[in-house]
Structure 1
Amino acid sequence: MKKIVALLILLFLVGQVSYAQKNHPLNVITYNIRYSNDTDGANVWEKRKENVKALVKFYDTDILCVQEALSDQFDYLLAGTNFDVVGAGRDDGQRKGEFSAIYFNKDRFIKKDGGIFWLSATPDVPSKGWDAALNRVCSWVKLYDKSNKKEFLVFNTHYDHVGVQARIESAKLIKQKIQEIAPKLPVIFTGDLNVTPETEAIATIKSFLTDAKDISLEPHYGPNGTFNSFNFNSELKNRIDYIFVNKGFKVLKHATLSDSKDQRYYSDHLPVFVKLKF
């Protein structure tokens, strides 16, 4: 009898280990890295870029979603890594203007599909929407996770910083596009949305996705705010960077990372980090 019980316990433990191996977590970061601006003085990209890249590596990032990357920044974050990437410049759909790019571990994930669309009434061509000050773009990629044998999608964007109506309409368009492209698959949606949580633009997203912070199994870690304006003494009250998921994911951890060096942040935004499981 004891041998039978011992065997059953062993089989249970083997099954648990097998399940854990199949449900390998994903580390995801969304990060507005601040565009390469020569007038940023002590905070110019050349003085920050190594720290940004080191942060991404330190947190074992499987998927990195960035905003405000110009072409040189886009290339730098890719060089010498095991990432592949989806994204294009918002001004011409190629290399001109800021990228809202999605980097992913090419050793773990296989790209199945992907693309970009503009946040406007004409999303298939470079364009500016509604009362926006600038062209805005959303990148997306459909990935196959070899570790978990699962397909899922990632969407990443940067809403306009001026147009109130543009942010509201952008949220509606994002909802429409996600429901068209990924009606049944697990979804991650990230971005600098330039709005705080109580706004209509966020309510639209929360009508079909969940704020990862709200369902994290571990309590949120780090500041609530994500915008620091390169002020190391910032109160960090304004939360405008987000990660949302649908029911295809469980959120194990959620954090706003306040990493710094020599009393300087690596960008005027803080990165948001989540650990997810299918």
Structure 2
Amino acid sequence: MKIFLNFIICLFLAVGSFAQKKETPINIITYNIRYNNPSDGINAWPNRKDNVKALAKFYDADILCVQEALADQFDALSEDTNFAFEGVGRDDGKRKGEFSAIFYDKTRFLKKDGGTFWLSETPDVPSKGWDAVLPRICSWVRLYDKTNKKDFLVFNTHYDHVGVKARIESAKLIKKKIQEIAPKLPVVYTGDLNVTPETEAISTIKSFLQDAKEITIEPPYGPSGTFNNFDFNSELKNRIDYIFVNKGFKVEKFAVLSDSKDRRYFSDHLPVFVRLFFN
């Protein structure tokens, strides 16, 4: 009888181990790609476009969240890829202005819902909020992972670069919206938040989500900062780009990617990468 019980226990552990190995991770990159500004000269978008796309492909991004993408950049990122997308231009809710878009592998994920809201007192219509200089948005998508057979949500945003109150209130609004839209499902929240980790805007998010950098199983990889200002000699101290998750995910890897070519970065921000598993 004891031998039989030991056999059953071993079989149970083996099945559990197999099930864990069978689960497929999700690779996510968030990346402020810098808007298409001809005055950037050698760093203008046409000179960077192929490198940005190559980076996403090399790191096997299942989901690519971008900020500052104008319509032509938005289009370019989906050309000759498996990406479908969620997102609108912030100026008119269509194609005018910058996108905070979410690109996802359409061969793996099925969109079940999605949308965009404005970071303002009137989130359902194009608008500026509080002391913000520009309209700001958060796009989101609910996806079904056909590989792991689970639903989850991704939210992607870009806070105002000037308005202190706007950043604080944006964080509060995002907290409210995520709790309304995804009260029980696994959630990923990404973005260029234009604030460093010690600020109130970050502590508001950390009151209900976890900073992927702080909970990664493997040690964080790459520099601390994410803003380089197209300066290859930047000290990379300012961390303003983030990925957060709720307890529906565990973070296996976290990295700030400092890829470059010919001593030039592909944007004035560095991309942030995570590899996630469902809990």
- Please name the residue that 1:16 is paired with: 17
- Please name the residue that 1:106 is paired with: 106
Counterpart CA distance in 1 for 2:84 and 2:192 is 21
Amino acid of the structure 1 residue aligned with 2:190: T
Deviations 1:184-230 (A, max 9, x none): 00000000000000000001000000100000001100000000000
- Please name the residue that 1:47 is paired with: 47
Counterpart CA distance in 1 for 2:164 and 2:144 is 36
Counterpart CA distance in 2 for 1:69 and 1:197 is 24
Deviations 1:72-115 (A, max 9, x none): 00000001111110000000000000000000111111100000
Shift of 1:277: 0.5
Counterpart CA distance in 1 for 2:92 and 2:82 is 27
RMSD over aligned Cα, in angstroms?
Answer: 1.5
**Secondary structure at 1:244 match in 2:** strand
**Secondary structure at 2:196 match in 1:** coil
Counterpart CA distance in 2 for 1:76 and 1:36 is 12
Paired residue total:
276
Counterpart CA distance in 1 for 2:72 and 2:7 is 59
**Secondary structure at 2:48 match in 1:** helix
- Please name the residue that 1:264 is paired with: 264
Q: Map residues 149-160 of structure 1 onto 2, 5 A cutoff.
A: 149-160=149-160
Counterpart CA distance in 2 for 1:177 and 1:15 is 36
Amino acid of the structure 2 residue aligned with 1:183: P
Q: Map residues 1-278 of structure 1 onto 2, 5 A cutoff.
A: 12-21=13-22, 23-278=23-278
Unaligned runs of at least 5 residues, structure 1: none
Deviations 1:137-179 (A, max 9, x none): 1000001111111111000000000100000000000000000
Counterpart CA distance in 2 for 1:171 and 1:65 is 18
Amino acid of the structure 2 residue aligned with 1:147: T
Counterpart CA distance in 1 for 2:72 and 2:171 is 29
- Alpha-carbon spacing, 1:11–1:184, altered in 2? closer, same or farther (3 Å): closer
Identity %: 74
Amino acid of the structure 1 residue aligned with 2:17: Q
Shift of 1:265: 0.2
Q: Under a length normalisation based on structure 1, what TM-score does the superposition of the two structures give?
A: 0.96
Shift of 1:14: 4.8
Counterpart CA distance in 1 for 2:60 and 2:14 is 27
Unaligned runs of at least 5 residues, structure 2: none
